[in-house]
């Protein structure tokens, strides 16, 4: 039974470049979440997908951030024109209901 | 605005003692509250969920209480061990997505 996987595990990019972060949730989980965690900080909610409903994008910090979930499974978080303040660990989680969430190991993004 | 506070950024206790972590919230009426553990470089791992109509929940050496009047949850680890050292996060679900506290870093000293 595979857990939530994320790729890449580390990403270093230059300011102004676009990046794509991938999340493979646990098979059968209907809900998928993206969070951001800056060094020594708590988790900041970004976006939430539930089944076929429109995603809750209320946590996206700017219009440079977007996310898709294809076929109700894999999700991609895209950050356009990256800025240094985007440097953080991006965590994905999935769940069967709105209860317990299963987290991936995260992608550490560094914007130079 | 909604706010979740965890009692302290860091807590050090001696092995064998009971660790007590606090989570306070304002302007929420959550249906349930969750506690997670996070180790360095890893994603959080779910520990316990307690519903608004439950006063207390236990799992092995863990105990969680939930006081909706005080808007507070207490998380206890009894007979603490160095392996319990980690950051512990509480999380609430006001609108279908979890909102996390900033966490308490627990260190259990041998």
* Residues A6-30, mean pLDDT to the nearest whole number: 96
* Residues A15-24, mean pLDDT to the nearest whole number: 97
Instruction: Tell me the two tokens of residue B82.
Output: 């160095």
Q: How confident is the model over B18-47, as pLDDT tens digits?
A: 999 999 998 777 888 999 999 998 999 999
CB–CB of A42 and B100 under 8 A?
Answer: yes
Residue B2: pLDDT band with limits 50, 70, 90: low
Which pLDDT value is given to residue B58?
96
Which pLDDT value is given to residue A97?
72
Beta bridge partners of A19: A79
Rounded distance, CA A112 to CA A13, Å?
A: 6
Contacts of A88 (CB under 8 A, 6+ apart): A36, A37, A38, A39, A108, A109
Report the gap between the CA of A49 and the closest CA in chain B (Å): 10
Report the gap between the CA of A19 and the closest CA in chain B (Å): 21
Of the listed ranges A29-38, A83-92, B4-13, the least confidently predicted one is: B4-13
Which pLDDT value is given to residue A52?
83
Mutate to test the interface with A, among B25, B38, B41, B97 (most CBs of A within 10 A): B97
Q: For chain A, how far is it from start to end, CA to CA, in angstroms?
A: 37
Q: Examine the pLDDT at B9 and tell me if it is beyond 90.
A: no
Which pLDDT value is given to residue B31?
82
Residue A6: pLDDT band with limits 50, 70, 90: very high
Q: Which one, of B35, B4, B31, lies nearest residue B20 by Cα?
A: B35
Q: Do B23 and B75 meet the contact criterion of CB atoms below 8 Å apart?
A: yes
Q: Cα angle at B104 between B21 and A99, to 5 degrees?
A: 80
HSE-CB for B60 with a 13 A CA cutoff: 5
Is some CB atom of chain B closer than 8 A to the CB atom of A10? no
Enumerate the residues of chain A whose CB falls inside 8 A of the CB of residue B64: none
CB–CB of A99 and B102 under 8 A?
Answer: no
Q: Examine the pLDDT at A75 and tell me if it is beyond 90.
A: yes
Which pLDDT value is given to residue A39?
82
Q: Examine the pLDDT at B95 and tell me if it is beyond 80.
A: no
Rounded distance, CA B57 to CA A31, Å?
A: 25
Which pLDDT value is given to residue A24?
96
Q: What is the 3-state secondary structure (H, E, C) of chain B?
A: CCEEEECCCEEEEECCCCEEEEEEEECCCCCEEEEEEECCCCCCEEEEEEECCCCEEEECCEEEEEECCCCEEEEEECCCCHHHCEEEEEEECCCCCCEECCCEEEEEEC
Residue B1: pLDDT band with limits 50, 70, 90: low
Nearest to A42 among B42, B43, B101 (CB): B101
Mutate to test the interface with A, among B98, B99, B102 (most CBs of A within 10 A): B98
Rounded distance, CA B74 to CA B65, Å?
A: 5
Percent of chain B with pLDDT over 70: 95
């Amino acid at each position: 039974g595979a857990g939530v996987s994320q790729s890449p595990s580390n990403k270093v990019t230059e300011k102004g470049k676009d990046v794509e972060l991938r999340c493979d949730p646990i098979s059968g989980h209907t809900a998928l979440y993206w969070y951001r965690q800056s060094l020594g900080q708590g988790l900041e909610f970004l976006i939430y997908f539930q089944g076929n409903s429109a995603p809750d994008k209320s946590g996206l910090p700017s219009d440079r951030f977007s996310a898709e979930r294809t076929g109700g499974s894999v999700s991609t978080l895209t950050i356009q024109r990256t800025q240094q303040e985007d440097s953080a660990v991006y965590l994905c989680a999935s769940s069967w209901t709105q209860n317990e969430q299963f987290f991936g190991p995260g992608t550490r993004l560094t914007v130079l | 605005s909604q706010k979740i506070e965890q009692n302290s950024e860091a807590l050090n206790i001696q092995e064998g003692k009971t660790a007590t972590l606090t989570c306070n919230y304002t302007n929420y009426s959550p249906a349930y509250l969750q506690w997670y553990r996070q180790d360095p470089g890893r994603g959080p791992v779910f520990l316990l969920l307690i519903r608004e109509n439950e006063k207390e929940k236990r799992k092995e050496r863990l105990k969680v209480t939930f006081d909706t009047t005080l808007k507070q949850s207490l998380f206890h680890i009894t007979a603490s061990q160095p392996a319990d050292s980690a950051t512990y996060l509480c999380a609430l679900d006001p609108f279908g997505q979890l909102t996390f506290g900033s966490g308490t870093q627990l260190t259990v000293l041998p």
